Amino acid sequence: MENDVMEQEKADALQLSAPSELSEIEKAESVLGIDRSLFEEPKFWSLQKKRFIKYRKVLWFIIPAALFSLIFSYIPMLGVVFAFKDPGHFNLYRYDLWHELTNGYWTINNFGNIFNDKFFVSVGNTLLINVIKLVICFPLSIFIAVQLSELKSQTMAKVVLIVICIPNFLSWAVVIATWAGLLDGDGGALNTLLVTLKFNSPNHPLMQEAGLYKFFVIFLSAWKGAGWGCIMFYAGIIAIDKSFYESATLEGANRLHKMWYLTIPMIIPTIALMLVLNISGMLATGLEVVLPLFDMILADEAQLTLDVYLYDITIVNQNIPMAATLGVFNGLVGLTLMIVGNLVTTKTLHRGLW
């Protein structure tokens, strides 16, 4: 009974108050000269304008970076239109950017023509190299990081870290020359060892063997990058609270348990991040490593990778419409892979790029 009465009263009060009170407030406002808009949520553009005035002295800081992005990222994106140009009528030596953008011979045949034999060979090789890298080199970095964190002495860990990071700071030219020297058919130290162990015949440089091309791309990438790649994971591991390990020890976990059930799950955010970055670079092998090695095997076309193929048609053949088409294809696949990779890691590891 009481509840009913209360509700009745409330409803009455609401009905009475709503129109009359508002009008009274409005009256008071008009008498006192209060601007009602001051209390309202400001409109989007007026808010931005207010903020703009507040930061007017620092906002020009953005302009240089924005200009560089505009000139070297957005204007080249306009180059997508070259993908619709007829290669037969594209003259690189009498070419003018604005003229080409506005008129000329248009075609969409390029998108059919890029799917030729060389393209499929190079995509196959690139994917094979990158999948093996993802399966071997990526876990190798995590493995090294875990091994490093298992060391008891901090100084020892630091020394190992500094040593295994050195190759990352060398140029690819130096890395390739180093290994080419070691495996030189005429007196390379490692080659001599392999010959005495009967793995190799004398005067037979392994790096000029076309069949071993993919192996060397992967091996040299691992040699150069694995040590550096582990630094991210190592930073993640040393940030883990030590009390977790103490309680795990009390529960009777041995080192293997702690590695597998504690260390690895704790660095999953880092792993997910690096995994997405790796997956989105699936069609890139890095021109600086594949091109010198490709020259060493005397440009055997069966070992073509996408980077080398793109370099070939852009710089050597200067078939710009074809190269632009391939570039668009590459960019779109990279974007898709990044989105898909992010989706997969958010679904499975519950972490991603965004």
Partner 1 sequence: MKNIKEIFKRNPNKIKESKLDTSLVVVNIVLLVLFMIVIIFPLLNFFSLSINDYRRNGDVILFPVKLSGFGFRTVFKGSEAAHLWRAFGNSVIITIVITIGSNLVEAMAAYPLSKRDCPLRGGIMMYFIITMLFSAGTAPIYLLMRQFNLTDNIWSCILISISNVGNLLYFKVFFEGLPKDIEDSARLDGASEIQMFFRIVIPMSLPVIGSCCFFSMVGAWNGYGSALLFINPNKFDAFPLAYYLYLLNERLSTSKVEEILMGRKNIEAAAMIVSIIPIIACYPYVIRYIKGGLMIGSVKE
Kindly identify the residues of this chain, within the stretch 327-346, that bind partner 1 according to CB under 8 A.
Answer: 327-328, 330-332, 334-335, 338
How far is residue 260's CA from residue 176's CA, in Å, rounded to a whole number?
36
Q: What is the DSSP letter of 106?
A: B
The structure tokens listed for 33 are 């000269």
Among 74, 120, 244, 260, binds partner 1 (CB under 8 A): 74
Greatest Cα pair distance in the chain: 106
Residues 6+ apart with CB under 8 A from 302: 121, 210
* Cα atoms found within 13 Å of the Cα of residue 27, Cβ hemisphere only: 6
Query: Which CB, 6 or 244, lies closer to partner 1?
Result: 244
Query: Taking the complex as a whole, how short is the minimal distance between the CB of residue 162 and partner 1, in angstroms?
Result: 7
CB 87 within 8 A of CB 319: yes
Query: Taking the complex as a whole, how short is the minimal distance between the CB of residue 136 and partner 1, in angstroms?
Result: 15
Query: Taking the complex as a whole, how short is the minimal distance between the CB of residue 252 and partner 1, in angstroms?
Result: 5
Query: Taking the complex as a whole, how short is the minimal distance between the CB of residue 20 and partner 1, in angstroms?
Result: 39
Among 72, 91, 241, 242, binds partner 1 (CB under 8 A): 72
**Residues 292-331 interacting with partner 1 (rule: CB under 8 A):** 292, 295, 310-311, 314-315, 320, 323-324, 326-328, 330-331
Region of 8-16, 106-114, 142-150, 197-205 interacting with partner 1 (CB under 8 A): 142-150
How far is residue 161's CA from residue 143's CA, in Å, rounded to a whole number?
13
Q: Which H, E and C letters describe 81-96, residue by residue?
A: HHHHECHHHCCHHHCC
**Residues 218-277 interacting with partner 1 (rule: CB under 8 A):** 223, 227, 231-232, 235-236, 239, 249-250, 252, 254-256, 269-270, 273
Region of 5-13, 27-35, 111-119, 163-171 interacting with partner 1 (CB under 8 A): 163-171
What separation in angstroms does the CA of 157 have from each of 225, 256, 351?
18, 19, 29
How far is residue 350's CA from residue 330's CA, in Å, rounded to a whole number?
28
Should residue 69 be labelled a site residue for partner 1 when binding is judged by CB under 8 A? yes
Should residue 166 be labelled a site residue for partner 1 when binding is judged by CB under 8 A? yes
Q: What is the DSSP letter of 70?
A: I
Query: Taking the complex as a whole, how short is the minimal distance between the CB of residue 9 and partner 1, in angstroms?
Result: 45
Should residue 169 be labelled a site residue for partner 1 when binding is judged by CB under 8 A? yes
Should residue 150 be labelled a site residue for partner 1 when binding is judged by CB under 8 A? yes
Nearest by Cα to 129 from 278, 296, 230: 278
Region of 26-34, 111-119, 173-181, 207-215 interacting with partner 1 (CB under 8 A): 173-181
Query: Taking the complex as a whole, how short is the minimal distance between the CB of residue 278 and partner 1, in angstroms?
Result: 15
Q: How many helices (H) and strands (E) does the chain have?
A: 18, 0
Among 1, 62, 197, 298, binds partner 1 (CB under 8 A): 62
CB 142 within 8 A of CB 148: no
Region of 35-43, 106-114, 116-124, 284-292 interacting with partner 1 (CB under 8 A): 284-292
**Residues 2-41 interacting with partner 1 (rule: CB under 8 A):** none
Query: Taking the complex as a whole, how short is the minimal distance between the CB of residue 89 and partner 1, in angstroms?
Result: 16
Query: Which CB, 34 or 106, lies closer to partner 1?
Result: 106
Q: Which H, E and C letters describe 223-285, residue by residue?
A: HHHHHHHHHHHHHHHHCCCHHHHHHHHHCCCCHHHHHHHHHHHHCHHHHHHHHHHHHHCCCCC
Query: Taking the complex as a whole, how short is the minimal distance between the CB of residue 190 and partner 1, in angstroms?
Result: 8
